[in-house]
C-alpha cells in the first residue's frame, strides 16, 4: 500500500496547513517481519550468520527474531541465546513433545557435502512449521525463514520486502559437490530440474534441448531481477497471505520428492501462490567449513558499499578491422574503460576502435609483445585490468558470469583465471582449452615478460573462475614469431628456458623438425622451466621424430616424459598407439589401461587433452580386446567410451557390431 494524501477543508490540530487548506498525510506503516531459523550449526559458521542478521537494514520494516535451538555444540547454543538476549529475540528449544520433532536424528556433513537421513528431513520440517505457526499466531506481516549457514547482504530483507511477492527467496549459489559448478538453490520443475519438461513452444520455434534451457536459466539468474521459479528454499520471505492459506512443510503422502522445501513449494503452488527468486543481492553460502574464509571476503565486498569493481580492458592491435568490433561488442557491460594500443594498423582498425573509446593510443612496434602489453597496462586507470586479443570474445553466458563477478568479486583477489577455449568439435563442444590469468588488480603492477609468447607474471590470491574467453581466429597463420626468434638467434641473444621451449614450438609448427628437436633438447637440458612444459616438450619431440620417420626415437622421447611426473594419460595413449600400430596388442592394452588409471594434475592451469583422460583409451581398449578375441571386454570398454561420447561414429559402429554379434550368439569372452 502506497502513502496517500487526504485534503480536508478547515483545520484541525495536527494537520498541515498549506494555503488555507489542511492536508493530512497518512504515514505508511512499517511491515512487521519475523526473522527466524531452526539452528544446528558450528559456532564459527553461526557467528557469521548472526552478524549478517544484525547488519540487515530496516528502513521499511520492523523485525523480531525467533530461533529454534537444535544445536549439538554448547558454544553454538550460548551464542544463539546471547544474540537473542541482546536483540530481545526468542529462542525455543527443539526437544518438545510434538513427536514429529522429538529426536534430533542423523545429519552429517563434511567437505564432500551434507548427508541427510529421511527422519531428520521431516524433523526439520516440523521445526519450520512451528516457526510458521508462531508467525501466524503473533500476526506478523511476513516471516523471513533462513538457514543458519548463510551470510546475507545488508539490504537483503529490504529488497525482498520491496518485491511485494507472497513467497520469494533470495538467491545464493553452492557447489553441491567439491570442484563442481556453482548452482542455485532454486529450480524450475520436479526435485531439481533447471529446465521445463514438455512445455509448449511458440509456433515456428524449435524446442530447446534440456542443456540449452538449463544454461539460459542459469544465465538469467546471474542478472539482477525477480523471476518466477518452480521451487525454492533456505532464504525465503513468506507473507501473511500465504501463512493464512495454509502453506507448510508437511510431507505430502503421495509425493516421493526428497526434501521438505519441495513439499512446501508443491503445496504453495496448489494453493495458488506463485514462487519467485530475487537475484539482486546474492547471499554467501558456507556449505562446508573450507568455505568459511569466503564469508570474510564476501563481507569486505558488500560493506565497501560498491556495487561492482571497475575494469579497464587493455588490448594491443594491428590491422584487426575484421574482428575488433565483435570483440568490443562482447565486453558491453563489462569494461568501464577501454584502452586500445595500436602498433601500426594500415586498415580501418583505428576508426572502429574510436567508436568504442577515445583512448586509442599509438605504440611503435619493436618486435616485443611484452613491451606493447606493458605499455597498454600502464594506461589503465581502474581497479582491475582485463586483457583480450581482437579475435577473442565473451560468449553471452560467459559475459553474464563476468558481469555477475564484477558485482561480488572479493577485493582481496589479485587475479582471476579464465578458460581460453581455442578449438571446438563439429558439435560445438570445446575440444582444446587452456587457462590464463585474465583479470588482475592494477595496483599489483603485474608485468608481461617475453618478446614472443609473452606471459603475465602473477602471484598472490588467485580465483579460478568458470568464465571462458572464446578464441575466434580469423587471420592467416604467419611466420612473424619465428622471424623474431631467428633475429634474436642471429644477434646472439640469450634465450631463457621458456624462450627455448617456445622457439622449439615455432620451429615445429613450421615443419623445421630437426631444429625443433634441438631446441626442445636445449630446454630440457637446462633442468628448468615448468614441469608441464617439460612433459609437453617430450611429446613434441616425439611428434617431430614421427614426422622424420624415426619410431625408436619417438618412443624414447615419450618414455623420457616419465622422469618428470606421474604418467599422463596423453603419453600412455601415445605409447598404446605405438604398440597397437605394430600389432602388439598385449603391450598396447597395458598402456591404454594405464591411461584410464592416470592421476589428473591438481593444478587447474595444466592443459589436458580431455579425450585422452575420458573416452579415447576405452575406445582403443575395445579395439585391442576385440583383436585378441575377448569381445565381452571389448564391448564393456565401448560402453564406457559411449557414456563419455554417445554420438562418436566409431563407438556407434562398434555398438552395432556387438549387437549383431549378440544376435548371432557369438559374443564371447576369450
Say what the pLDDT of residue 298 is: 81
Q: How many CB atoms lie within 10 A of CB 7?
A: 9
DSSP helix, strand, coil percent of the chain (3-state; round to 5): 40, 20, 35
Question: With contact defined as beta carbons under 8 Å apart, do 245 and 273 qualify?
Answer: yes
Say what the pLDDT of residue 164 is: 95
Say what the pLDDT of residue 15 is: 44
Distance CA 247, CA 138 (A): 16
Distance CA 82, CA 160 (A): 27
Q: Does domain 308-471 have CATH number 1.25.40.10?
A: no
Question: Would you mind telling me the total number of residues written for the chain in this entry?
Answer: 670
Q: Which residues are CB-contacts of 360 (< 8 A; sequence separation ≥ 6)?
A: 340, 342, 350, 353, 354
Top-tier CATH class for 478-565: mainly alpha
Distance CA 357, CA 329 (A): 12
Write the secondary structure of 381-429 as one string of H (helix), E (strand) and C (coil): CCCEEEECCCCEECCHHHHHHHHHHHHHCCCCCCEEEEEEEEEECCCCC
Taking alpha carbons only, the member of 318, 338, 339, 140 closest to residue 240 is 140
The segment(s) of the chain belonging to CATH 3.90.550.10 are: 31-196+209-302, 308-471
- Structure pTM? 0.57
Say what the pLDDT of residue 666 is: 63
Distance CA 412, CA 464 (A): 14
The segment(s) of the chain belonging to CATH 1.25.40.10 are: 569-669
Q: Which CATH superfamily is domain 31-196+209-302 in?
A: Spore Coat Polysaccharide Biosynthesis Protein SpsA; Chain A (3.90.550.10)
Cell 558456507, residue located = 286
Cell 544376435, residue located = 663
Tens-place pLDDT, residues 347-366: 999 999 999 999 999 999 99
Question: With contact defined as beta carbons under 8 Å apart, do 475 and 426 qualify?
Answer: no
Say what the pLDDT of residue 475 is: 65
The terminus-to-terminus CA distance of the chain in angstroms comes to 80
- For the chain, which ranges sit under pLDDT 70? 1-28, 96-110, 112-116, 179, 198-208, 303-307, 475-477, 666-670
- CATH topology for 569-669? 1.25.40
Amino acid at each position: 500500500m502506497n502513502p496517500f494524501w487526504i485534503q480536508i477543508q478547515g483545520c484541525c490540530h495536527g494537520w498541515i496547513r498549506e494555503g488555507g487548506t489542511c492536508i493530512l498525510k497518512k504515514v505508511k506503516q512499517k511491515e512487521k517481519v519475523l526473522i527466524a531459523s531452526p539452528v544446528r550449526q558450528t559456532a564459527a559458521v553461526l557467528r557469521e550468520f548472526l552478524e549478517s542478521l544484525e547488519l540487515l537494514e530496516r528502513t521499511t520494516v520492523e523485525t523480531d527474531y525467533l530461533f529454534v535451538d537444535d544445536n549439538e555444540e554448547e558454544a553454538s547454543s550460548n551464542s544463539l541465546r546471547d544474540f537473542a538476549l541482546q536483540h530481545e529475540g526468542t529462542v525455543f528449544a527443539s526437544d518438545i513433545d510434538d513427536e514429529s520433532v522429538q529426536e534430533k536424528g542423523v545429519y552429517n556433513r563434511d567437505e564432500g557435502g551434507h548427508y541427510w537421513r529421511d527422519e531428520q528431513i521431516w524433523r526439520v520440517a516440523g521445526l519450520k512449521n512451528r516457526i510458521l505457526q508462531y508467525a501466524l499466531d503473533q500476526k506478523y506481516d511476513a516471516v523471513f525463514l533462513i538457514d543458519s549457514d548463510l551470510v546475507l547482504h545488508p539490504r537483503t530483507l529490504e529488497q525482498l520486502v520491496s518485491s511485494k511477492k507472497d513467497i520469494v527467496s533470495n538467491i545464493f549459489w553452492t557447489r553441491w559437490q567439491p570442484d563442481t559448478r556453482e548452482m542455485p538453490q532454486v529450480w524450475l520443475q520436479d526435485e531439481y530440474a533447471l529446465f521445463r519438461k514438455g512445455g509448449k513452444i511458440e509456433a515456428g520455434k524449435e524446442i530447446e534441448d534440456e542443456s540449452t534451457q538449463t544454461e539460459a536459466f542459469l544465465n538469467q539468474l546471474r542478472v539482477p531481477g525477480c523471476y518466477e521459479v518452480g521451487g525454492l528454499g533456505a532464504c525465503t520471505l513468506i507473507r501473511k497471505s500465504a501463512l493464512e492459506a495454509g502453506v507448510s512443510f508437511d510431507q505430502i503422502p503421495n509425493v516421493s520428492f526428497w526434501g521438505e522445501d519441495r513439499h512446501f513449494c508443491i503445496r504453495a503452488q496448489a494453493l495458488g501462490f506463485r514462487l519467485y527468486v530475487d537475484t539482486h543481492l546474492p547471499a554467501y553460502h558456507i556449505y562446508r567449513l573450507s568455505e568459511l574464509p569466503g564469508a570474510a571476503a564476501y563481507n569486505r565486498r558488500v560493506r565497501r558499499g560498491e556495487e561492482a569493481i571497475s575494469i579497464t580492458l587493455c588490448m594491443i592491435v594491428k590491422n584487426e578491422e575484421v574482428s575488433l568490433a565483435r570483440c568490443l561488442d562482447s565486453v558491453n557491460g563489462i569494461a568501464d574503460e577501454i584502452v586500445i594500443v595500436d602498433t601500426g594498423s594500415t586498415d580501418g582498425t583505428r576508426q572502429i576502435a574510436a567508436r568504442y573509446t577515445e583512448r586509442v593510443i599509438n605504440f611503435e612496434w619493436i618486435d616485443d609483445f611484452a613491451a606493447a602489453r606493458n605499455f597498454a597496462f600502464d594506461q589503465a586507470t581502474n581497479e582491475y585490468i582485463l586483457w583480450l586479443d581482437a579475435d577473442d570474445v565473451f560468449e553471452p553466458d560467459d559475459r553474464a558470469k563476468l558481469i555477475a563477478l564484477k558485482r561480488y568479486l572479493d577485493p582481496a583477489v589479485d587475479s582471476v583465471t579464465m578458460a581460453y577455449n581455442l578449438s571446438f568439435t563439429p558439435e560445438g563442444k570445446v575440444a582444446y582449452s587452456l587457462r590464463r590469468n585474465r583479470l588482475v588488480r592494477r595496483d599489483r603492477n603485474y608485468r608481461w615478460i617475453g618478446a614472443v609468447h609473452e606471459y603475465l607474471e602473477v602471484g598472490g590470491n588467485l580465483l579460478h573462475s568458470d568464465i571462458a574467453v572464446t578464441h575466434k581466429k580469423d587471420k592467416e597463420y604467419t611466420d612473424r614469431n619465428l622471424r623474431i626468434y631467428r633475429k634474436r638467434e642471429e644477434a646472439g641473444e640469450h634465450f631463457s628456458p621458456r624462450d627455448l621451449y617456445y622457439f622449439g614450438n615455432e620451429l615445429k609448427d613450421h615443419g623445421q623438425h630437426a631444429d625443433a628437436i634441438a631446441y626442445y633438447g636445449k630446454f630440457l637440458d637446462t633442468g628448468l622451466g615448468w614441469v608441464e612444459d617439460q612433459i609437453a616438450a617430450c611429446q613434441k619431440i616425439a611428434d617431430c621424430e614421427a614426422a622424420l620417420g624415426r619410431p625408436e626415437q619417438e618412443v624414447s622421447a615419450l618414455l623420457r616424459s616419465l622422469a618428470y611426473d606421474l604418467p599422463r594419460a596423453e603419453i600412455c595413449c601415445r605409447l598404446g598407439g605405438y604398440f597397437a600400430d605394430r600389432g602388439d596388442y598385449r603391450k598396447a592394452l597395458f598402456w591404454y589401461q594405464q591411461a584410464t588409471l592416470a592421476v589428473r594434475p591438481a593444478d587447474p592451469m595444466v592443459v589436458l587433452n580431455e579425450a585422452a583422460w575420458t573416452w579415447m583409451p576405452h575406445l582403443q581398449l575395445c579395439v585391442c580386446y576385440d583383436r585378441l578375441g575377448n569381445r565381452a571386454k571389448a564391448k564393456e570398454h565401448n560402453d564406457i567410451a559411449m557414456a563419455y561420447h554417445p554420438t562418436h561414429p566409431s563407438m556407434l559402429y562398434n555398438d552395432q557390431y556387438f549387437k549383431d554379434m549378440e544376435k548371432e550368439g557369438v559374443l564371447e569372452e576369450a
